[in-house]
Amino acid sequence: MAYTIYSLCTLTSLACAWLLLASHRRTGHRLLFWSGWSFAAMTVNNLFLMLDKVVFPDVYLLPVRLIAALVSMLLLIYGLIYEKE
């Protein structure tokens, strides 16, 4: 059951990143660019969560997951603060 939930979360983050980046290519809005890359980093974070909890339960991947989450939030915060339109 956990594998299904983690997989769905990863796929949802990937779909959001794809849609945001595709919308950025069409419109050119910079906030969509930073939001898309933020969701791409969230996808990596969810992938590491799935690897940590389901695939390799004996391996301690918490620092890697936290770094991916930090990068994701920093990308979004940068886009929200510095991109004006």
Q: Residues 39-62: pLDDT tens digits?
A: 999 999 999 999 999 898 898 999
Residue ranges of domains in the chain: 2-82
How many whole angstroms separate alpha carbon 19 and alpha carbon 65? 23
Is 90 exceeded by the pLDDT of residue 9? yes
- What is the band of 34 on the pLDDT scale with cuts at 50, 70, 90? very high
Q: What confidence score (pLDDT) does residue 85 get?
A: 60
Helices (H), the chain: 2-27, 30-50, 62-82
Q: Is the pTM of this model over 0.85?
A: yes
